[in-house]
Amino acid sequence: MTTPAWFDSHCHIQDAYRPEDRTPGEVLDEAAAAGVRGVVCVGTDAGSSRQALELAAGRREGDGAVGVWATVGLHPHEASTGLGDVEALLRASLPGRRDAVVAVGECGLDYHYDHSPRPAQREVFAAQIALAAELGLALVVHTREAWPDTVAMLAEAALERVVLHCFTGGPDEARACLDLGAYLSFSGIVSFAGAQEVRDAAALCPLDRLLVETDAPFLAPVPYRGRSNRPAWVAEVGAAVAAAKAVEPESVAAASMLAARRVFGIS
């Protein structure tokens, strides 16, 4: 049987995030062997965004290799540091790396940890929404315990290409985001025993607006929960989504691959 081809829509394989003594090349080779054909390496500040760009510049898809694309953004945890360095990096990178840079983010609101004051989070999120609109890039959104403000800000912006990364809401939040035209990206949480609401959200999400991700090195799916996550395990996430939707994993693999390429503008 042919191994389905998967696309990990959100991972962190930069040096700052890898807890094991493995190079990004080794991580990607393992992913390729597991059927992964593409990953989006996500920046959370200027340093990690720069490393994501470097990885994307050095890794193209084809001949069984995993293609790598990058995002540039400032996580809400870091909002109080200001957007200046990240915005400068993004603007400087686009002229020569338009094929590698596919999104602004991850950005958004995190009212669970509140590592940055909420007014600063909203200001920086709004600025990154505006950057995505100006530059014609997708927007990768992190939201935690901040659904009303997140949905309101996205509704006001009316962007065409938005990804709700590591979707942790239930059916109500899913419908609100889908009504905005957003895509929902499901992580290993969808496989956790206590995450029935997330599975219910996956069940109602149309396949053409559904992505799968690892968020590596975080949130390893069952049966690897508790370990450092890796892109090679995105198939386990896809299998859990398929079970929630009562479809075959191959259907989720094919549809999420197309959806990822569409929302990130990857030809």
pLDDT at 63: 59
| Three-class SS of 135-176 | HCCEEEEEEECCHHHHHHHHHHHCCCCEEECCCCCCHHHHHH
Cα–Cα distances (Å) from 232 to 75, 102, 250, in that order, read 24, 21, 16
> Which CATH number is 6-264's, of 3.30.565.10, 3.20.20.140, 1.25.50.20, 1.10.260.40?
3.20.20.140
Mean pLDDT across the chain, nearest whole number? 95
For residue range 75-105, list pLDDT tens digits in order: 999 999 999 999 999 999 998 777 899 999 9
106: preceding bond cis by omega (within 30 degrees): yes
Q: Is the Cβ–Cβ distance between 55 and 231 less than 8 Å? A: no
241 neighbors 247 (Cβ within 8 angstroms): no
Distance (Å, whole) CA 172 – CA 38? 30
pLDDT of 1 strictly over 70: no
pLDDT of residue 22: 82
Query: pLDDT tens digits for 17-34?
Result: 876 678 899 999 999 999
pLDDT of 167 reads: 98
Predicted confidence at residue 19, as pLDDT, reads 62
Asked if the model's pLDDT at residue 74 lies above 70, the reply is yes
What's the rounded mean pLDDT across residues 55-66?
77
pLDDT at site 62? 62
The answer to whether residue 64 scores a pLDDT higher than 90 is: no
d(CA 9, CA 40): 5
pLDDT of 141 reads: 98
Domains in the chain: boundaries: 6-264
Q: Residue 48 has what pLDDT?
A: 97
| β-bridge mates for residue 6, sequence order | 36
Per-residue pLDDT of 158-204, as tens digits, reads 999 999 999 999 999 999 999 999 999 999 999 999 999 999 999 99
